[in-house]
Each structure stands twice: as structure tokens, then as C-alpha cells.
Structure 1
Amino acid sequence: MAEHKHALTIRRYFDACNEADYDKLVSCFTEDAVHYFPDGLPDIPWRTADTIARKWQWCVENLGSQWTIEKILVSHDSDEAVIEWTHWKGKLGTALRGDEWYIFDKESGLIKEIRAYYASPADKNVTINELVSFDYAGRGYHLEPLTHSKAKEV
């Protein structure tokens, strides 16, 4: 069975994030897209495809960010999806796990809204922010970032 078009868009978006590829990032979003986050980050929410792309480029450059997708669920009756991810911050030696809710534009199929939810508050005293006592390894989750040849070139 072929992967759903919304899942393919999400995978393309994460590849673009890991590659810090501005044009590829922007191509995943409607021009007026919004990315919402929990409290604690400056200048949120991020509004417009341009802003989202530039912020993720900054994260790759300054934090050594890489992301892995752990799970994707796509709605069978609406233009929505939810994913579980890990944000690896290589230069800080930390990681954060969480979920995102995606809303897609019905006509274009592009992402028009993302709502991010963190597995836990970003605790600066732990190296990987994740659920306490959850068996990440046993459930097949990534325990380190993937190596991306394009990401290394950035």
C-alpha cells in the first residue's frame, strides 16, 4: 500500500529541515502557514513559510539540529495528520521528543498549520527530554540522530 500524500509531505518537510534546504522547506507550506509551540521559545508562533524555513535553518546551523520521525498517523476523513518526532540538538548534546498536529490545505495539499507538543518541559538538566520510564529502545525509537549526507554539507 502506497504511503499517503500527507505522510509523504511530512517526510519531505523533515528531509528539508535536516538538509537546511530553504527552497525545499518553503515548498512544503502554504505561504501563510503557522507553526505553534509551547511556551519557552522566543518569537512564537512562527508565521509564514519563509519564517518557518529560516528558523529551522538557524537551528541546524546554531544547534546542530537534526530530526527523526518516529510515527506518522494520517486521518482517513480529514486533511490532518499527527506525528511523533525527536529533535536532536547535536551541538548541545541534548534531544527533545514530542508530537505535532498537522493541518493541510485541501486544494494544494501543503502544510498550513503545525501545533507542536513536547513530551515534557524542556529540562536543561537532562540530556534527552522524553517520557520518564518509557521504553524507547524496546519500542524501536531512534536512540541517536540519523546521518544525512546533505546535512553534513551545510
Structure 2
Amino acid sequence: MTHLETIRRYYDGCSTGDVELMCGTLTDDVVHYFLAPNPGSKPVDGGEHLARYWRKVHRMIDARWIVDHIVDGDEEAVIEWSMFWRPEGRAERVVTRGAEWFRFHNGLIREIRSYYQQRESTTELDGFRYDERGYSVPARETSALHPASAGGAPCPK
């Protein structure tokens, strides 16, 4: 599986709360770092713990993550993503744009460093033409790189 395929599967799991799908993309000792002062900015350690964390987040804010762009290397990849979500008590969804740096080990995600600002309104680059560049947009929560979801695999023991 390519880094892009692994990252898409990971985000498909995050977007559906599918713990098994996420676990099939993560090492047992994965660490996810978050940019402070976002909500929940302390690092999350361990594959199953991280998968259960994202299942909880998905349930709370009806989140859907889309991979929009990737720069890929041997054991690392950097992506831009969009998260479509619903702030508490609101009917309309907003989009948070961000970037993450992934480190891999034996084809699985070992580390994630996440860079974004989560606010209760859309956060994105001013003047950037997301739609013209093939990125996901509010009317289309998919991208050229991330068109559909995939199935799950059990958590490693």
C-alpha cells in the first residue's frame, strides 16, 4: 500500500469512527502531536488509543476528513487536508484546513504532527482557489486524491 492509500484509509476510519480501519494503518506505538491551543492538544499515544480518540471526536462533531494534497517521501509524507464538521448546536458544517506530517514504519503510520487552527467558523487560506485546484469544498466533501472510503482491518495486538 502507498503512503497515500494508508493515509486515506486512516482518514476514512476517522471520518466513520471505524476503530478497526484506523488500527490497520497505525503502529502500536504511534504518537499524534497537535498544535496548541486547539481543543485536545496533548499528544495521543498508541494505535488503539488514537483510533478510539478519533471515534469519540467523530461522534461529537460529525467530522469528515479529506486528503487534498500530498508530498511523498521514503518514510515520510506531508499532506494538506480538509475537515468538514458541525460545531455544537449548529446545523451548518464548517471546514477547517490543515496540514500534517506523517512518519511511517513498515508501511504503517508511526507519527503524526498536525498543524491547523480549529475555530467554530471556516479556517482556510485567504484568496486560495480550493475549487480550481481540485481540493474538497463544502458542496463536495471529496477531492481528486480522496474520492471514496475503504474497508477495515483488526487492531494489532
8 Å Cα contact 1:69/1:84 also seen in 2: yes
Displacement of 1:72: 1.7
Residue aligning to 2:84: 88
Would the alpha carbon gap of residues 148 and 19 (structure 1) be closer, same or farther in structure 2, given more than 3 Å must change? Answer: farther
Of the two structures, which has the highest relative contact order with CA contacts closer than 8 Å and spacing of 6 or more?
2
Letter in 1 for 2:81: W
8 Å Cα contact 2:34/2:41 also seen in 1: no
Aligned length: 139
Q: How far, CA to CA, are the matches of 1:132 and 1:60 in structure 2? A: 27
- TM (normalized to structure 1)? 0.80
Gaps of 5+ in 2: 151-157
8 Å Cα contact 1:82/1:101 also seen in 2: yes
1:112 aligned residue (110, 113, 116):
110
Letter in 2 for 1:51: H
Displacement of 1:149: 8.4
- TM (normalized to structure 2)? 0.79
Cα deviation digits, residues 81-129 of structure 1 (max 9, x gap)? 1111001113552221011100001xx21100000111xx3344xx311
Is the partner of 2:4 in helix, strand or coil? helix
Percent same amino acid among aligned pairs? 35
Gaps of 5+ in 1: none
Q: How far, CA to CA, are the matches of 2:65 and 2:41 in structure 1? A: 21
